[in-house]
Amino acid sequence: MEIKNSELVLVGIFLVGLTLPAKVSRARTKFVKALTERVNEYNESRQEIFKSHTALIDDKTGKVTYPEGGQELADKELIDLANETPIIQATYKEQINTLKAYFKDWDGDVSAENASAYDVFFDALELEGDEAND
């Protein structure tokens, strides 16, 4: 399944907030674990970009500052990284199949705060096509 780096956390929060039947919940838990691994890799890559541009990060505010001329290049690299789409693989193909089967006809309520995450997750499920059945 493919989800942009910048959307991984939103999708994880959306999924964790759902009340699901036991079998689907287990598949969700394994999938969220895979999402979390990608988020950690994304954060490590962000830190590498900050370091390579000698960014200073204020521990209290989180504000990032760069030496003269470093911000523009760093921002471009951070945007490129945010738009990268890692492949999130479930440990077992049955996990994706379980999620797809459950959400195929799901018509639960989605809050305004979760609307984007819902859209991203369902697009990723649809794009998964029959690959999960291989």
For residue 132, pLDDT over 60 is answered with no
| Structural domains counted in the chain | 1
**pTM: predicted TM-score of the whole model, two decimal places:** 0.83
Give residues with Cβ within 8 angstroms of 72, minimum separation 6. none
Confidence band for 70, pLDDT divided at 50, 70 and 90: confident
76-127 pLDDT, tens digit per residue, is 999 999 999 998 877 777 888 999 999 988 999 999 999 999 999 999 988 8
Q: Supply the range of the domain harboring residue 102.
A: 5-133
Q: Cα separations (Å) of 124 from 50, 56, 85, 120?
A: 30, 36, 11, 6
